[in-house]
Structure 1
Amino acid sequence: MDNFDLNLIRVFDALQRHGHVGKAAEELGLSQPSVSYSLKHLREQLGDPLFVKVRHGMEPTSRALALTPVVQSILADIREHILTAPGFDSGTARRTFTLAMSDVGEMVFLPKIMKRIARDAPLVDVRTVSTDPKDLMAALQRSEVDLAIGYFPDLQGTDVFQQRLFRHGFVCLVRADHPVVSEGLTKKQFQSLPHAVVQAEGRSQEIVEQFLKAKGVQRREMLHSPHFLSIPMVIASTDLVVTVPAAVAEVFARFADVHALEPPYSMPSFDLKQHWHRSQQNDPGNRWLRAQVLELFGDDGSARRR
């Protein structure tokens, strides 16, 4: 097997179908001497004449006739599974997509993604993971994660593709009947009111903390929590203030009696993106999923690689 030239299979197939060296050579784009030379090698490898000369061309031997369905099957498998690019029919595809998101990212992205998949790809399953930023690149490389959606500034390099979805800013949340709602939040109030500080695995909260530190803003950090889930209920029942991404505030306002206010400082904004590895660039299923995410959340469609 190590010394067998797989190109000889194509020569065998052409000779079997045409029964003529010249016609086989024409189909294969080879010279007649090249086809004759290949037939010589086939005979030596298989220990059989395979095709014998007759008046009108070449006749297959009994061994060649027995090999014909095997050769045809091999060539059909190569055409179907190797040479033909796979497709993705969302209506019938069975596949599990793994998405890397922070818990706050799930709040923002997952409801719409699941609604779209349930409608257009009913047999597709979704698994979400919260991966440490230092491990996420390796997970993408190993195809353990199909897509990372959110704020992942550590995902850099020529093997990572990324596509901007939208630009994001921050707002301050207070309870709906908080005294500051009517007049807006001043810098003095921001510093004097008690705050909830979320220390989740999502990197976006780092932007707020780094900004306030750089500005030398002091505040009363009454509550530190690693989770976003309890925050809207805490804010709705206390005088605490919390600074969160605007899209998160929109989600919180749907199930808690809270109100969003503009921060009294010009806080930085950031881009939310979807990221994938070079190995997934041309995968039909991954391409379909990226298109859905862009359609649902994108404010422009410009993909770029970094």
Structure 2
Amino acid sequence: MELKDIDLNLLVVFNQLLIDRRVSKVATNLGLSQPGVSNALARLRKLTDDPLFLRTPKGMEPTPFAEQLAAPTASALQTIHAAINQRTSFDPATSARAFTIGMTDIGEIYFLPKLMKELARVAPGLSISTVRNTAVNLQDEMESGHVTLAIGLLPQLKSGYFQRRLFKQHYVCMFRRGHALDKRQISLAEFSRAEHVVVVSEGTGHGKADELLSRKKIVRKVVLTVPHYVAVGHILHGSDLVATVPERLAQALAEPFGLSHVRHPARLPEIAISLFWHGRYHRDPAVAWLRALIVRLHGEGGPG
């Protein structure tokens, strides 16, 4: 197949179908008739010799070949769009743009203070909203542009997404200063004898630490279970409980709550925290600027 055989508008329809998954919605968003969208899909099917989308109760589901085309098509369309509109610029000092970032409560504790301080300095008109990565259909929300970026351990974001690793970190044991375990290192026996608070963070990569401890048959006396990390600092400050948490969270909570942490006695793997964005917005000047700022503040080798 040669490029001369392809109508660019067919790729626009294809890309929108990947996002909306319904012919009627694509027609509305692109200002076309439903028969026009169906005709475009029929032409693409003939050109590619593939069904591309199959009707299901959930809408039009892409075939494996369509998923393979998704990222390069989105990137190519964005490149063309950026070239045609290259006079469009982004000035952070005067912009009033709003961004939504998907992150966990750990992310809010660790990333937001430094990010908001820097935005107040260099881009005072910008605003940030956050959503939980597990509270929305993150893939759909990022494809549609409702969520600009996502930060975390998010293996589900693959086809059609770019990512930039920010850092890798270990898990540590955290407790109040002056705790019996407040020393340079602790043993597995000491860890097992302690009383623990456990955070059940379903839908995030952090739950794997607890799964690994269970598989290793490492016993803990769990006296408190909570669904998020936001209260852990308060809980540890006023008790003798121990928590297994990511190292960067421990660093953020240490001073405000008078806490200490040591390397975890169990051999838990490092976790990689990355910044994700959809290929459709790869060349958006404002999104690119915000990505660069987050990498500068929190990327490996940066001040974060």
- TM-score, normalised relative to structure 2: 0.68
- Structure 2 match to 1:137: 139
How far the C-alpha of 1:183 sits from its partner, in A, is 5.8
How far the C-alpha of 1:229 sits from its partner, in A, is 2.3
The 5 Å alignment of 1:24-39 reads none
- Structure 2 match to 1:113: 115
Name the larger-Rg structure: 1
- Structure 1 match to 2:105: 103
Answer yes or no: is the 8 Å Cα contact 2:183–2:262 preserved in 1. Answer: no
Say which SS state the counterpart of residue 204 (structure 1) adopts.
coil
How far the C-alpha of 1:237 sits from its partner, in A, is 2.2
Say which SS state the counterpart of residue 245 (structure 2) adopts.
strand
- Structure 2 match to 1:213: 214
Distance 2:260 2:158 in 1: 36
- Structure 2 match to 1:257: 258
- Give deviations 1:271-302, integer Å, cap 9, x for gaps: 1110000110010000000110111111169x
- Structure 1 match to 2:175: 174
- Give deviations 1:182-235, integer Å, cap 9, x for gaps: 363211111121110011356132121121122111211110001222212221
1:263 to 1:243, Cα distance in 2 relative to 1, 3 A? same
Distance 1:120 1:181 in 2: 40
Distance 1:142 1:134 in 2: 13
Count of residue pairs the alignment pairs up: 220
- Give deviations 1:77-106, integer Å, cap 9, x for gaps: xxxx95444110111112001111111111
- Structure 2 match to 1:184: 185
The 5 Å alignment of 1:6-45 reads none
Answer yes or no: is the 8 Å Cα contact 1:102–1:201 preserved in 2. Answer: no
Distance 1:165 1:131 in 2: 17
Distance 1:280 1:261 in 2: 40
1:110 to 1:83, Cα distance in 2 relative to 1, 3 A? closer
**What amino acid does structure 2 have at the position aligned with 1:182?**
K
Distance 2:202 2:290 in 1: 24
Say which SS state the counterpart of residue 97 (structure 1) adopts.
strand
1:84 to 1:182, Cα distance in 2 relative to 1, 3 A? closer
Structure 1: gaps (5+ residues): 1-80, 302-306
**What amino acid does structure 1 have at the position aligned with 2:283?**
N
Structure 2: gaps (5+ residues): 1-82
**What amino acid does structure 1 have at the position aligned with 2:150?**
A
Say which SS state the counterpart of residue 181 (structure 2) adopts.
helix
Distance 2:234 2:86 in 1: 54
- Structure 1 match to 2:17: none
Distance 1:123 1:213 in 2: 48
- Structure 2 match to 1:297: 298
Say which SS state the counterpart of residue 137 (structure 2) adopts.
helix
Greater mean deviation of Cα atoms: 273-282 or 201-210: 201-210
- Structure 1 match to 2:228: 227
- Structure 2 match to 1:267: 268
- TM-score, normalised relative to structure 1: 0.68
Instruction: Tell me which stretches of 4 or more aligned residues in structure 1 moved more than 6 Å.
Output: none
1:83 to 1:179, Cα distance in 2 relative to 1, 3 A? closer
Say which SS state the counterpart of residue 179 (structure 1) adopts.
coil
**What amino acid does structure 2 have at the position aligned with 1:120?**
V
Distance 2:102 2:202 in 1: 12
